[in-house]
Amino acid sequence: MLKQLAIKELRETAWIGLAALALYLYFFMTVTGVGRGDAEAWRSFAFVANSGQSMSMGGLIGLALAIGLGLRQTVGESTRGTFQFLLHRPASRRRVIGTKLLVGMAFYLCLAVVPSLLIVWWATTPGNLPAPFEWSMLGGDWRAWLATTVLYLAAFLSGLRPARWRGTRLLPAAAGVVAVAIFCFAPLPYWWATGLSAIVAIDVLLVGNIFYVAQTRDFS
C-alpha cells in the first residue's frame, strides 16, 4: 500500500516538478549565457555575479517549489476528501504521513539541486568559463537548498492543520519564510556548524508537529 501511495504522490506532484525544471533551465541559461550568443567575458561575469547569491532566481524558484509541494500534498487531499480514504487504510496514520513526507522531501531535494549541478557541470567543462572555478562560489546556493527544507515542512504543516486560512493556519509557512531568510542572509558565525544544526533541529521539530496534528486531527 505504501508503494502505491508513493507513486500516487509522485504522479500528483509531477506537474509542479515539470514547471520547476522549466524555470530552473531558464535560470541556468540566464546565469551561464548559454544560447544567448554573449561574449565569454559576459558569461564569466554573469556566473560569478549570480552563482554565489543564495536568494537568486534559483533560490526563489526553490521557495515556490517548497511551498507548492507542501500545500499540494495536504490541501489537495483535504479539498478532494481523500484524507479520509488514506487514513483509514490498514497502515497507521504515522506511516501514511511519513511516506508522504519522505516522497515530498526527496522530490524537493532532487529538483532543487538541479540548477547548482548544471552550473557546476557547465563551469567545469573546459572552454566554458575563462576563470578558475571554486566550490565556494556555490556556498550560498547550497545553504539555501538546505534551509528551504524548513519551508517545505512548514508549508506541509500549514496545509495539514485544521485552523482557518484567515486565522493562524498559515503561521508555520510564514515562520518558514522568515527562517529561510535568516539562514540565507544573517551573518551566522560558522554557518556549517550553527546554521546546519539549527536547520536539522527545526526540521525535527516540524516533523514532530506534523505527526502530532495527523494523530489528533479529526479528518471525518
Domain definitions of the chain by residue range:
2-216
User: CB–CB of 173/123 below 8 Å?
Assistant: no
- What is the rounded CA–CA span in Å between residue 31 and residue 36? 11
- What is the rounded CA–CA span in Å between residue 182 and residue 159? 23
What cell numbers appear for 72 in the block? Answer: 499540494
Higher pLDDT, 200 or 185: 200
User: CB–CB of 77/100 below 8 Å?
Assistant: no
User: CB–CB of 102/149 below 8 Å?
Assistant: no
Q: Using only the alpha carbons of the chain, give its radius of gyration.
A: 19
Report the pLDDT value the prediction gives residue 39, as an integer from 0 to 100: 46
What cell numbers appear for 155 in the block? Answer: 508549508
Nearest-CA neighbor of 214 among 123, 86, 97, 65?
97
User: CB–CB of 155/67 below 8 Å?
Assistant: yes
User: CB–CB of 180/148 below 8 Å?
Assistant: yes
Report the pLDDT value the prediction gives residue 52, as an integer from 0 to 100: 47
In this prediction the pTM is 0.86
| Angle of the 93-112 helix axis to the 2-32 helix axis, nearest 10 | 20
Q: For cell 517545505, what's the residue?
A: 152
**Tens digit of each residue's pLDDT (9 = 90 or more) over 105-164:** 999 999 988 877 877 787 777 766 666 777 766 777 788 889 999 999 999 999 998 877
Q: What is the largest CA-CA distance in the chain?
A: 62
Report the pLDDT value the prediction gives residue 71, as an integer from 0 to 100: 93
Report the pLDDT value the prediction gives residue 124, as an integer from 0 to 100: 77
Most confident of 25-29, 93-97, 200-204: 200-204
- What is the rounded CA–CA span in Å between residue 133 and residue 170? 41
**Tens digit of each residue's pLDDT (9 = 90 or more) over 25-77:** 887 777 666 655 554 544 554 555 454 443 467 778 889 999 999 999 998 88
Most confident of 108-112, 134-138, 186-190, 214-218: 108-112
- What is the rounded CA–CA span in Å between residue 65 and residue 22? 12
User: CB–CB of 60/177 below 8 Å?
Assistant: no
